Each structure stands twice: as structure tokens, then as C-alpha cells.
């Protein structure tokens, strides 16, 4: 009887009054589960203990035969039926001789009750009077008017709760207040509920657990005791409260909640469940949406709003800081939803979704509701799901997009729209979810009737998926089979042919056949190729060493000025961007890349989407933006640049990686690394061999760039971890595999293994040459191999490779290629002629401002000048290289320049930190993590790591804990090298 003393005292006082001969009606009111019956039982025990005779009855819906008048009262007084065999003392029947049975039923029952009271004080206990038949209620009201002179107490309980359906009139609304005492039972207070919980589970449970129990019980004794019963039956010791009823046994709590809803009526139960469904959504339950939903389901919106106001007082709901109503605990919400039949749930969800749309709720929120409702069979539901899927893709929530698109397929849509949705879903399942259902969906999309462009779109996506799995021949065959279906659509036919050529890059034999056909078509029917097809031929000639950069760009710009269809334009832009990057037109390449990516749907499998991402990485590499390459590695992977994804030869390495020169053989440039940051891909894959999980069947162009950037920033150990994550024997044949072979060779060379590096470079060259990729514009393997030959003492072999590299470089004739080739040839030639060649390389690269190639050229020239005895000129060249490497963040090249200065007799004082290095080091000393420093300075985390690596190297330390002492010894700005 928690917090029921006042009610018990009231009943006790009125019982004493009745025993003295003055009766009254006492009405105990309360919501379902607040303990009315328990209080009534306690009152009857008290009455019996004080000598009162107790007559009790419990009303129920359908508990009596409908044709029995005064059914409740008959049941109440049934123990007195034995008195009806003779007239009661003092009754009218005794005076007149009329039998008692001849009286009307109400009078007869009243006589029976008076006869009972004549023998002693009586307590008449009627539980749940709101369920009594109308005649019985009227009888009790009349009795209440007459008991004031009898030793008789009428004790009645009545449910009193705000429901959505208007309630019937209460028992005492027609009685004078002097004839009735009324007491309303409130929900348990928080302290009383907590005391009840602790009495059941103990005093040493965490306070949060107690709070959760109390909230889930809503201050309602019925619910709280049922919850404690389940928890005590489920576990031997107290446990944290679950959020779903499935974790409860034997299920007393959800049964109690169901009883509470049944007592409230169908309209209230429906409203409660709709609110629970809305409460499940991330944004919560908007009051207006809830009221509109209830209105659509036939409830009075005003009553619904009143119910929302009343329920927090009962502890069932609470309003959050956002002003939205929510259930007091998720377990209570789940219990309300338990047992909701599918048809009613779907109808309510549909009504709520439509109300949300009318109120302008974001489609992402509406879609979450539709996902819980099953198929709606409505066009508006289709649009909501598709719109929400588009938003999920934009927010990089591809898993959510897949779920939404799968649901959308169950809704009505045209065949053309279904083909589009299947294509997008299949693309996402294949790339983002790595699901085997992706390819069957793309196949289904191809077979649906509709506009040919939908079929082409699906075919290109399916072909891309097959090529990524190493089935390039099947991909090309699939696209070829469309030729006969597109004879009336020349633009689509050209798109299919272009896509076939790009996908053939994954297979050497098919590639030869495809480009032979492209050349034949260009000679006999040039119009049949279209701008994108002709651009592919320009790209082929550039990689084969058959055309100059100027001529290639002139042809590409002409092709860009020609009209291209929406399906063909991505192929044209991607190919043009690659050629522009090779030609060192980096700004133009960047504009083309951005334009191409903006015009594409990243959710669709498309060969040029990955190609454009590859060009974007190549541009960063050509500019020496190592921080961007490392920090954006994960974003490129999410955008779709997975292994085997790119098509075409992409762009060139822009000088990355073949700068190790002879310094690698001398063991310099390995760097110390920060010891704190590891490449994400390595963390995902662990160590050892095998492909990186979730990335396909081999390394990507981006990962090749990451290897080179790690080497350039002095993190060779991390580069090895990434390189070892791939078993190249299992990788499909592709140009990206060749790129990675080249990059792994750079890692080997930087680690002091020129023989192993030479093997990787020569294998890369063999594979590239077999594909007719001869120009160093793509992969300068000859230059790198020549330096390995020099390190191994094979000067003639090195010279032959360097001369061939220069010959091919002059065909393309850009400063990057020519300058690099002159440097390599000058190093291999040696002597005065070699010095002249490296001098020319420095001049060309300085005029073109190509830092990534100028720095190694300055180092090579400085070394040659040192060997020639011109130490002053050598120091000048090497100091310039060190300063430029510092600005670029090229830790390895900076180390190489310093090493060369020391070899030339100059004392390097490179322990002076730059302003950025000092600022970052000081923040690290204060305990900031790399991520916190990056956020504070608004830079990439990789930039922080690069600067810390450089600072560690300059300070001669290896751990973060040594920074404090080391910083005190070092000046804060400038870089000077002692000329002595």
C-alpha cells in the first residue's frame, strides 16, 4: 500500500461512521493499474476485522448474461437468496401478506440489503463499477441516496483516466457531494516507486538501473510489479533493464501493458501505438503529425491532444527538451508496440507518413517509418523511399541507401523506373555492400522492357562489375551483344563501344582486339566513333609513344568542343582529363575531373567514375601533395576507387617514386616515422599476404600513390605494411597492378634493396610493353630501373635504359618527362657531359616549376658537382634542394639533400624547426593527439603526422615523450647550413 495511507484512513473513518448507523458512498477512482483493487481488498480486510459483514462483487465486461437485469447487484446479494422464501421482518410483504417475489427487482434487492444491514453493519464493496450494467449502476446511485440512516458503507472503485474515446458519465455525477466521499489514486511518486524497486532487487543496485525500472513502470504499481516479476524470473541477480520485451520472461510486463491498453479502449490503444511508432524515429514524435495521423484513423484530434497532455501526469510519457512527447522508457514503448497486428500497423504507418509529408517532414524521416511498415502499394511511398535513398548516398550512408532501395522495389513503379532503381541498387550492392545480389539485379535491369538508354546504363554497370571480378572478356561480350539492339540509336551504340574499349583494359588480349577495331572504324567511318571514341585513340597513341603532348591536347580540345550525349560525355571528360594530366596541364585536368565527377551519379557502376577519381589522385601526386594523398585515401576508397575499379591507364605518376637515385643504394631516405600513424588499409587487412578485405582482387592506383607518398614522407615501414597486404599473384591483370608493381619497387629501393626493386621495375615494364604502353608518361619504369642498375654497378645496362627513356620522353616532350630523363641519363653518363645533362634538366624543370622533379635534379647535380670538385656550387644546389624539399614536405628528399651536404664536407644544421613544425610539436607536448591538433589548426591529420616526422628527424628523437627536452634545445625558425 505504497502512498495509500490517506485513502485507507478515509475508508476507515467512513467504516467507523457506518458502524455507528450513518452510511455513505465512498468512491475510489484511479487509472488502470494504480491499485484500486488492492486498496479495496485492504479495506474489506479492515472492515471484517472490525466486525462488519462484507458483500463484494467485481464487475467485468460481459461477465453477466445480457438478459439479466441488475446483474451486478444480483451477484452481490446472492448470499441472501435464502431469505426470499419468507417475508423479511418489517417488510411490506409481511404487513400485507404479499410475497417478496411480487416486488419489482430493484425494490426486492433493496429489501434484501436492508435485511442484511438489520443484522449488523455491512460493507458493500463493488470493484470496477464502470464495467457494471446500467441498471446496477442506477441501483447503486439510488442506494447511495438512502444509506445515510443505515449502518452500511458503499465502497466502490471506478476507473478514471483520460482516453481518446469520450468516457461515459461517472457513477456519482448526479449525486450531491454530501452523499459521497471521493478519493483519486495518483501514480506512485518517484521515491515510492524506487522504494518498491529496491525492496525487490536490493539496495546496492546502480542508481541508473533504479531510474530505468521506475521509468519503465511509469509510476504504475501494476506495470512496475509485472516488470520486477519478469526481471526476477529472468536473472538470478539484478540486471540492467533491456530495451525490448523479447529479453523478458515470462512476459508479465508486456501482458500488463497490453491489459492497460485494452482497458483504455481501441482508440486510445491505436493512438498509443502510433505514438510509439513515431517515437522510434530519430526525430521523435511531432505532436501535429501525431494528431493528424489519429484524425486520419478516425480519432478526434482534440481528444488526442488532451490524451498527450494527460499521459505525462500518469508517468507514461514525458516531454523532452525539444518539446516532443516520448515514452518514459524504450522498454515501455516496445511493450506498447507488442502485439500490434500487421494490418493495423501498416495502416497507421501509412497515415503517419502522409501526415509527415503534409507537414514538410524530411523524406529521410518519413522513409524510416515506411521501412517499418512493409509494402504500402502507393506511388507516393515509392518516391519517398527513392528520395531518401538519394539523400543517404549523398551523406555517404550507402548501407542505408541499399535498404531504402530494396524497400522501394516492393512499391509500384514503371518498368523504366524499375530498371533505373535496379541498376543503382545493384551497383551499390556490388561496390559498397559487396553483396553477391548486385550482379543478378543488374542482369534483371537489362532484361526489363523500356527505353534503350536504361538498358545501356544497366549494361555498362554490369560490364564494369564483371571486369572488376576479372571477367573482362564476359564484360566486353555482354556489351557487344547490345550492338544489334541499338542500330537505331547511334549515340547509344557509340557509348557501348567506348565502354567496351575501356573495360578491355583489364585483359591484354581483348585490349589489342578492341583498339584494332577502334582504329579500323576511325579510318573507314570516323563519325561512328564519336568524340569519346576518338579521345580513346588519342589516349592510346599517347601511351604508345606515337604523339606529342601538344598534338594530343590540340586534338582533345577539339573533341571537347563537339557535342556529346549525356551517356557519352563522362567517357570524353575522363579520357581528356587523363591526357591533360599527362601533358602537365594540371589546372585544366582538374577542371575536367571536377566537371566529370559532378555530372556523374557516384552510386552507379561506371568505368569513368573510377577513372576520374584516379586522375584526381594523379594530379595530387604530380603536384607533390603528399598530405592530400594520405589524408584522402579513405575518401577515395569510399567514392568507389577500389582495386580493379579504374579503367584506362589513368595518369602518370608525375615524378613520384623514381627520385630515390643513388642515395637509396647508400641507405638514406628511410626516415624514422612518427610511430603513431598507420595506413588505414593496413589496419583493415592486418599483415601477411592476401588481398585487402573489402577492396576487390588487387591493389588500386590510389594505393600505389599512397605507397609512394609514404616513401616520400619518410614512412617506409608503413609503406612496407601496405605493400605486404597484397598478394599480387592473386590479382587480376590490369594497368593498376602494373602501377603497384612500380610503387613496390620504389619501396624496395628506398629500403636499400636495388636488386629486388629492379625485378619489380622490369616486370612492370614487361607488362606495360605487352599492352603497347611504351611512353614513360604512364609509368617511368626505365628511369627507375636505370638507377637500380647503377646502384648494382651495371653501367651499360643503365645507360641503355636511360637513353631509351629520353627518346620516348622527347616524343611526348613535356618538361616533366624530358627533365626527369635528362637527369637519369646525366647520372648514368657521368663526367662533364653528364653534368651538362643534369644542368639542362635543372633548367627545364625550374622554368616549368615542377617541384617534384626539380628537387631530385638539384640533388643529382649537386652530387655530380661534388664529384667534380666544385664544392661551392654543389652546396648551393643541395641547399636549394633541401629548402624546396622542406616546403614540399618531402622528408626523404630533404634527408637525401642533407646527406649529400655532409658527404661534401658541409655541416648540416637542420635541427631548426619550421614555424609549422614547432607549432605542431608544442601542441603535441601539451598532450594533444594528432587528430586534435589537425582539428585545431584546420589541417589534415596526415599533415600533422608529416610535420611531426620531420620534427623527430631534425631533433634526433624517436618518441613523443622526448619532445619536451628536445624543443628546449632548438631555435624556432629558419634553416641554415654551415658553408664550412
Mean pLDDT, rounded, for 539-565: 94
Residue 85 has pLDDT above 60, yes or no: no
Residue 537 has pLDDT above 80, yes or no: yes
CB-CB contact of 827 with 662 (8 Å)? yes
Nine cell digits for residue 762: 622490369
**pLDDT, tens digit, 9 for 90 and up, residues 840-880:** 999 999 999 999 999 999 999 999 999 999 999 999 999 99
Question: In which region does residue 749 sit, left (phi positive, over 0), alpha (psi from -120 to 50) or beta (all else)?
Answer: alpha
**pLDDT, tens digit, 9 for 90 and up, residues 222-254:** 999 999 999 887 666 778 899 899 999 899 999
C-alpha torsion sign, points 441, 446, 451, 457: positive
pLDDT > 90: percent of the chain: 57
Residue 621 has pLDDT above 90, yes or no: yes
End-to-end CA distance of the chain: 97
- Rounded to two decimals, what is the model's pTM? 0.69
- pLDDT, residue 418, reads 95
Residue 771 has pLDDT above 60, yes or no: yes
- pLDDT, residue 74, reads 86
When comparing pLDDT for 926 and 84, which is higher? 926
Residue 693 has pLDDT above 70, yes or no: no
**pLDDT, tens digit, 9 for 90 and up, residues 407-424:** 999 999 999 999 999 999
Residue 614 has pLDDT above 70, yes or no: yes
- pLDDT, residue 939, reads 77
Task: Return d(Cα 488, Cα 561) in angstroms, integer.
Answer: 25
Mean pLDDT, rounded, for 168-173: 89
Least trusted range by pLDDT, from 45-59, 142-156, 639-653: 639-653
- pLDDT, residue 969, reads 61
Residue 696 has pLDDT above 70, yes or no: no
pLDDT band at 382 (very low <50, low <70, confident <90, very high): very high
Task: Return d(Cα 275, Cα 307) in angstroms, integer.
Answer: 11
Please report the DSSP string for 281-335 in residue order: STT---HHHHHHHHHHTT--HHHHHHHHHHHHHHTSEEE-TTS-EEESSHHHHHH
- pLDDT, residue 650, reads 53
Nearest to 11 by CA among 190, 225, 155, 184: 155
- pLDDT, residue 38, reads 95
Grouping H, G, I as helix, E, B as strand and the rest as coil, residue 340 is: coil
Grouping H, G, I as helix, E, B as strand and the rest as coil, residue 183 is: strand
CA 240 vs CA 222, 334, 887: distances in Å? 20, 16, 57
Q: Cα angle at 766 between 761 and 771, to 5 degrees?
A: 125
Task: Return d(Cα 517, Cα 421) in angstroms, integer.
Answer: 34
* 325-327 vs 317-319, strand pairing mode: antiparallel
Least trusted range by pLDDT, from 356-370, 540-554, 950-964: 950-964
Q: What are phi and psi of 454, to 5 degrees?
A: -65, -40
CB-CB contact of 122 with 152 (8 Å)? yes
Nearest to 372 by CA among 399, 340, 326: 340
- pLDDT, residue 685, reads 31
**By CB neighbour count within 10 A (0-12 exposed, 13-18 middle, 19+ buried), where does 546 fall?**
middle
Q: What are phi and psi of 927, to 5 degrees?
A: 95, 5
- pLDDT, residue 970, reads 55
Q: What are phi and psi of 693, to 5 degrees?
A: -55, 135
Best mean pLDDT range from 420-434, 725-739, 793-807: 793-807
- pLDDT, residue 629, reads 86
CB-CB contact of 743 with 709 (8 Å)? no
**pLDDT, tens digit, 9 for 90 and up, residues 957-967:** 777 887 887 77
Best mean pLDDT range from 74-83, 517-526, 659-668, 676-685: 517-526
Mean pLDDT, rounded, for 894-914: 76
- pLDDT, residue 679, reads 27
Amino acid at each position: 500500500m505504497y502512498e495509500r495511507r490517506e485513502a485507507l484512513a478515509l475508508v476507515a473513518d467512513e467504516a467507523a461512521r457506518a458502524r455507528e448507523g450513518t452510511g455513505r458512498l465512498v468512491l475510489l477512482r484511479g487509472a488502470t493499474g494504480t491499485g484500486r483493487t488492492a486498496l479495496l481488498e485492504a479495506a474489506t480486510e479492515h472492515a471484517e476485522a472490525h466486525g462488519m459483514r462484507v458483500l463484494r462483487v467485481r464487475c467485468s465486461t460481459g461477465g453477466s448474461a445480457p438478459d439479466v437485469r441488475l446483474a451486478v447487484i444480483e451477484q452481490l446479494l446472492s448470499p441472501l437468496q435464502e431469505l426470499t422464501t419468507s417475508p423479511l421482518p418489517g417488510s411490506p410483504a409481511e404487513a400485507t401478506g404479499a410475497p417478496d417475489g411480487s416486488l419489482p427487482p430493484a425494490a426486492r434487492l433493496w429489501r434484501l440489503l436492508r435485511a442484511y444491514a438489520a443484522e449488523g453493519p455491512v460493507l458493500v464493496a463493488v470493484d470496477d463499477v464502470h464495467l457494471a450494467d446500467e441498471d446496477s449502476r442506477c441501483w447503486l446511485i439510488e442506494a447511495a441516496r438512502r444509506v445515510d440512516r443505515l449502518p452500511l458503507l458503499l465502497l466502490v472503485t471506478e476507473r478514471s483516466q483520460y482516453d481518446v474515446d469520450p468516457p461515459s458519465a461517472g457513477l456519482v455525477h448526479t449525486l450531491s457531494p454530501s452523499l459521497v466521499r471521493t478519493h483519486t489514486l495518483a501514480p506512485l511518486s518517484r521515491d515510492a516507486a524506487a522504494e518498491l524497486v529496491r525492496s525487490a532487487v536490493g539496495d546496492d543496485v546502480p542508481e541508473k538501473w533504479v531510474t530505468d525500472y521506475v521509468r519503465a513502470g511509469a509510476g504504475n504499481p501494476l506495470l512496475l510489479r509485472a516488470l520486477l516479476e519478469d526481471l526476477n524470473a529472468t536473472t538470478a541477480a539484478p540486471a540492467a533493464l533491456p530495451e525490448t520485451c523479447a529479453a523478458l520472461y515470462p512476459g508479465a510486463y508486456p501482458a500488463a501493458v497490453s491489459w492497460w491498453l485494452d482497458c483504455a479502449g481501441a482508440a486510445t490503444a491505436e493512438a498509443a501505438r502510433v505514438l510509439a511508432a513515431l517515437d522510434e524515429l530519430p526525430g521523435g514524435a511531432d505532436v501535429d503529425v501525431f494528431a493528424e495521423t489519429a484524425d486520419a484513423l478516425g480519432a478526434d484530434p482534440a481528444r488526442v491532444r488532451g490524451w498527450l497532455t494527460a499521459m505525462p501526469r500518469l508517468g507514461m510519457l514525458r516531454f523532452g527538451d525539444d518539446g516532443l512527447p516520448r515514452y518514459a522508457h524504450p522498454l515501455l514503448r516496445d511493450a506498447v508496440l507488442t502485439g500490434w497486428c500487421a494490418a493495423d500497423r501498416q495502416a497507421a504507418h501509412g497515415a503517419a507518413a502522409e501526415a509527415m509529408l503534409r507537414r514538410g517532414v524530411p523524406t529521410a524521416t518519413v522513409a524510416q517509418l515506411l521501412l517499418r511498415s512493409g509494402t504500402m502499394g502507393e506511388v507516393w511511398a515509392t518516391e519517398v523511399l527513392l528520395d531518401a535513398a538519394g539523400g543517404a548516398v549523398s551523406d555517404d550512408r550507402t548501407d542505408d541507401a541499399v535498404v531504402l532501395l530494396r524497400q522501394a522495389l516492393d512499391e509500384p513503379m514503371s518498368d523504366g523506373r524499375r530498371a533505373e532503381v535496379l541498376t543503382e541498387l545493384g551497383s551499390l550492392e556490388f561496390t559498397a555492400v559487396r553483396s553477391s545480389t548486385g550482379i543478378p539485379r543488374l542482369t534483371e535491369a537489362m532484361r526489363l522492357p523500356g527505353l534503350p538508354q536504361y538498358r545501356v546504363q544497366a549494361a555498362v554497370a554490369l560490364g564494369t562489375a564483371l571486369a572488376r571480378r576479372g571477367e573482362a572478356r564476359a564484360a566486353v561480350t555482354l556489351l557487344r551483344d547490345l550492338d544489334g539492339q541499338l542500330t537505331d540509336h547511334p549515340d547509344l551504340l557509340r557509348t557501348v563501344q567506348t565502354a567496351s574499349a575501356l573495360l578491355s583494359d583489364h585483359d591484354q588480349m581483348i585490349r589489342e582486339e578492341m583498339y584494332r577495331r577502334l582504329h579500323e572504324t576511325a579510318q573507314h567511318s570516323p563519325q561512328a566513333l564519336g568524340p569519346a571514341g576518338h579521345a580513346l585513340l588519342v589516349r592510346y597513341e599517347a601511351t604508345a609513344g606515337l604523339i606529342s603532348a601538344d598534338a594530343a591536347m590540340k586534338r582533345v580540345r577539339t573533341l571537347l568542343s563537339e557535342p556529346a550525349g549525356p551517356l557519352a560525355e563522362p567517357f570524353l571528360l575522363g579520357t581528356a582529363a587523363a591526357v591533360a594530366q599527362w601533358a602537365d596541364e594540371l589546372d585544366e585536368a582538374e577542371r575536367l575531373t571536377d566537371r566529370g565527377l559532378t555530372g556523374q551519379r557516384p552510386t552507379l557502376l561506371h568505368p569513368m567514375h573510377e577513372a576520374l577519381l584516379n586522375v584526381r589522385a594523379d594530379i595530387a601526386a604530380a603536384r607533390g601533395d603528399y598530405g592530400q594523398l594520405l589524408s584522402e585515401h579513405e575518401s577515395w576508397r569510399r567514392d568507389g576507387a577500389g582495386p580493379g575499379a579504374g579503367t584506362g591507364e589513368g595518369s602518370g605518376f608525375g615524378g613520384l617514386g623514381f627520385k630515390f637515385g643513388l642515395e637509396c643504394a647508400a641507405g638514406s631516405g628511410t626516415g624514422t616515422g612518427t610511430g603513431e600513424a598507420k595506413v588505414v588499409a593496413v589496419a583493415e587487412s592486418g599483415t601477411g599476404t592476401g588481398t585487402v578485405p573489402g577492396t576487390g582482387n588487387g591493389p588500386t592506383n590510389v594505393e600505389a600513390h599512397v605507397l609512394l607518398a609514404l616513401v616520400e614522407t619518410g614512412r617506409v615501414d608503413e609503406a612496407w605494411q601496405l605493400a605486404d597486404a597484397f598478394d599480387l599473384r592473386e590479382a587480376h591483370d590490369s594497368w593498376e597492378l602494373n602501377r603497384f608493381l612500380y610503387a613496390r619497387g620504389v619501396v624496395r629501393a628506398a629500403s636499400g634493396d636495388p636488386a629486388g626493386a629492379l625485378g619489380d621495375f622490369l616486370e612492370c615494364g614487361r607488362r606495360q610493353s605487352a599492352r603497347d604502353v611504351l611512353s614513360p608518361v604512364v609509368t617511368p619504369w626505365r628511369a627507375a630501373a636505370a638507377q637500380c642498375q647503377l646502384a648494382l654497378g651495371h653501367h651499360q645496362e643503365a645507360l641503355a635504359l636511360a637513353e631509351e627513356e629520353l627518346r620516348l620522353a622527347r616524343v611526348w616532350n613535356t618538361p616533366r618527362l624530358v627533365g626527369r630523363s635528362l637527369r637519369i641519363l646525366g647520372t648514368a653518363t657521368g663526367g662533364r657531359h653528364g653534368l651538362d645533362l643534369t644542368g639542362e634538366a635543372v633548367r627545364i624543370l625550374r622554368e616549368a616549376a615542377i617541384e617534384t622533379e626539380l628537387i631530385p635534379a638539384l640533388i643529382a647535380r649537386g652530387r655530380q658537382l661534388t664529384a667534380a670538385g666544385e664544392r661551392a656550387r654543389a652546396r648551393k644546389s643541395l641547399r636549394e634542394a633541401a629548402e624546396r624539399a622542406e616546403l614540399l614536405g618531402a622528408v626523404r628528399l630533404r634527408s637525401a639533400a642533407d646527406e649529400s651536404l655532409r658527404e661534401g664536407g658541409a655541416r648540416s644544421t637542420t635541427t631548426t624547426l619550421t614555424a609549422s613544425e614547432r607549432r605542431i610539436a608544442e601542441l603535441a607536448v601539451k598532450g594533444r593527439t594528432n587528430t586534435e591538433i589537425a582539428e585545431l589548426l584546420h589541417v589534415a591529420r596526415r599533415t600533422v603526422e608529416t610535420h611531426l616526422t620531420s620534427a623527430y628527424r631534425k631533433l634526433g628523437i624517436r618518441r613523443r615523450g622526448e619532445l619536451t627536452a628536445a624543443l628546449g634545445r632548438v631555435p624556432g625558425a629558419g634553416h641554415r647550413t654551415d658553408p664550412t
